[in-house]
Structure 1
Amino acid sequence: MVRPLLFAALLAGASPVFAQAGAPLPDPNDQSDTFTIAAGGALIPDYEGSDDSEFMPFAAIRGRVSGFEFYMRETHLYVDLLRQPSSGMDFDFGPIVGVRLNRTGSVEDDFVDALPERDMAFEVGAFAGISFHGLTNPYDELSLRLDFKHDIGGAHGSSIISPNIDFGTPLSRRTYLGLSAGLDFVGDGWADYYYSVSPADSIASLLPVYEAEGGMKNWRLGALINQSITGDLTGGFSIFAGANYSHLSGDIADSPIVDLRGQRSQWQLAAGLAYTW
């Protein structure tokens, strides 16, 4: 099954248009240590390409220690090894480590459930990108990032490459908005492992034989809103909600697992509580 996007509360300052609210505005170049933990629930597809949904609890972390930032995206942890300079632009680079849980358990659709379960994939890789700060106010950030992940656990044994663009900005001292867009490209091994149907699998599931090849898997859009409830965005409790839309394409979308038993359009919805200190 697919696990949800792990919507952590994102660290941000306050918009300068709210300077009249009283307290001094935080330094947009502040690099002090901080940590956020978030937990909640999400409504997600039963598997990637399913037209059934399930509820799933989740947790996530995000923070900065000695100038080095770390955060979670879906079921993967990112660590940025480059400190943010005081200028309006910085480079991002670091490792990625995590797991992929697509179709690792039973699914609601009887035909797809008759196919062999897949092993958990242990993926490692790296990301690189560039971020621009202070485009609309001193606290916003526009990031262009390329992710590379490869399975080292012997599941799909292949790679995923994902170009991404993210924009985040505080709307006030207590409200933060994040927007994202991206593409995912997968190798032949990834496509074959999750979306091909062998002759033996066809007999068991009654789905037609199909051989999936790699390429562009999907495009996606996402949005996150974070609202502080016991202070401001730099500390205390907050509530958050997020939505992610993904549209499958290519051989993945044409697989009978998706085309006959699921759908190309995929929604993930999540909400929860976060605490920052």
Structure 2
Amino acid sequence: MNHRQIFVAGLAFVAMGGAHPALAQVEDSNVLTVGLGAAVIPSYEGSDDYRVIPVPQLRGKVSDFAFWTRGPNLYVDAIPNRGDGIDFQLGPVVGVRFDRSSRKNIKDDAVRALGKRDVAVEVGGFVGIGKTGVLTSDYDNLSARVAVTKDVAGAHDSYVVTPAIEYFAPLSTRTFVGLGVSADYVGKKYGRYYFDVDGAGALASGLPAYAEAGDKAGFRRIGVNLTGGMSLSGDLRKGWALFALGGYSRMLGDYADSPVVSIAGSKNQWLGAVGVGYTF
């Protein structure tokens, strides 16, 4: 759980898909949920200023092959899930990272002076496993997943590894709750691109020069989120539903010590989202 910024992709509006794993044993082999929400996120990764963005979401199955979005990331599971209790997951993932790609979205003057970053296009794959009927009922779901992507657009030109654990439990056919934990492990070029401050950047921004984030790969952040949903039609498997999400993420290590975070921003990152979806 988790989510972008990849942070938003890992977390933002994971609730939109929450009803389906929880009810996997009784849903059709073909289903589609389309949603739209609004999320409050940091103005850049590591910022202590916030902005509101729209969050479209898509999730479904075609002949038991599942697909879903997490923020601006699309996952496609190449192993069919027929609701037999165990769900093995393997497939491609593609996404985009908009972090600091527009100066107008950066509220801090010093970070804005460092200049904008290019949009990253991250392509890779994921593997995971899920189990339905774990703790509270025959329909709750626990899953673990690891995604590995690499920027192919020449922005940060590095890789991101995102392990995640998610748990969803239906309270009834009308409501559900979910809890997720995720982290990001990034290559050294990622840290250099987003968190280091070179001499020219220090002169332009007034922030001190900083080169430690690009020295080595490491865990950039760890986060937790809580989700909930309520059907307006009386059944989460069809019709209209409302969703909400709240999340917290903590910047780690040399990334948290970067002046972009420690001086201009904050190690503590918060996220909130609400929205509506329709399941066909």
So what's the TM-score if we normalise by structure 1? 0.91
Gaps of 5+ in 2: none
Q: Whole-Å Cα distance in 1 between the matches of residues 82 and 27 of structure 2?
A: 10
| Matched AA of 1:121 | A
Other-structure match for 2:272: 269
Superposed, 1:58-207 pairs within 5 Å as: 58-106=55-103, 107-136=106-135, 137-207=137-207
Pair 1:225–1:242, CA change in 2 (3 A):
same
User: SS of 2:16's equivalent?
Assistant: coil
Cα offset, 1:234, TM superposition: 0.7
- In structure 2, the CA distance between the partners of 1:216 and 1:202, relative to structure 1 (3 Å rule), is same
Runs of 4+ off more than 6 Å: none
Q: Residues of 2 paired with 1:31 and 1:83: CA distance?
A: 12
Count the aligned residue pairs: 267
2:113–2:205 Cα contact (<8 Å) kept = yes
Structure 1 CA distance, aligned partners of 2:139 and 2:273? 25
Of the three residues 13, 16, 22, the one matched with 1:9 is: 16
- Whole-angstrom distance in 1 between the partners of 2:162 and 2:124: 11
TM-score (norm 2): 0.90
Distance 1:188 1:27 in 2: 39
Q: Give the conservation status (yes or no) of the 8 Å contact 2:15–2:227.
A: no
Amino acid at match of 1:34: V
Conservation of the 8 A alpha-carbon contact between 2:40 and 2:51: yes
**What is the alpha-carbon distance in structure 2 between the residues aligned to residue 59 and residue 267 of structure 1?**
19
Q: 1:87 to 1:270 in 2, by over 3 A?
A: same
Q: Structure 2: which amino acid aligns with 1:187?
A: G
- The answer for the alignment partner of 1:257 in structure 2 is 260
Q: Note the aligned Cα RMSD (angstroms).
A: 1.9
The structure 2 residue matched to 1:221, chosen from 219, 224, 238, is 224
- What residue ranges of structure 1 are gaps of 5+ in the alignment? 16-25
> C-alpha separation between the residues in 1 aligned to 2:62 and 2:85?
21
State the Cα distance separating 1:84 from its structure 2 match: 1.7
AA partner of residue 41 (structure 2): I
Distance, in Å, in 2 between the alignment partners of 1:14 and 1:47 is: 31
Distance 1:56 1:14 in 2: 26
How far apart, in 2, do the equivalents of 1:152 and 1:97 lie? 10
Q: Distance in 2 between matches of 1:180 and 1:251?
A: 25
Task: Kindly indicate which of the two structures has a greater share of residues assigned to helix.
Answer: 2
Amino acid of the residue matched to residue 115 of structure 1? L
**Aligned partners of 2:98 and 2:111: how far apart in 1?**
15
When residues 242 and 131 of structure 1 are mapped into structure 2, their CA distance, relative to the original with a 3 A threshold, is same
Tell me: CA distance 1:13–1:207, structure 2 relative to 1, closer, same or farther (3 Å): closer
Give the number of the structure whose alpha-carbon radius of gyration is greater: 1
The one-letter code of the counterpart of 2:272 is L
- List per-residue Cα deviations over 1:32-83 (Å, max 9, x = no partner): 2110011111111000100000111121101111110111112100011101
Q: What is the CA-CA distance between 1:85 and the residue it aligns to?
A: 4.3
Q: Distance in 2 between matches of 1:111 and 1:157?
A: 24
Do the aligned partners of 1:14 and 1:172 also contact (CA within 8 Å) in 2?
no
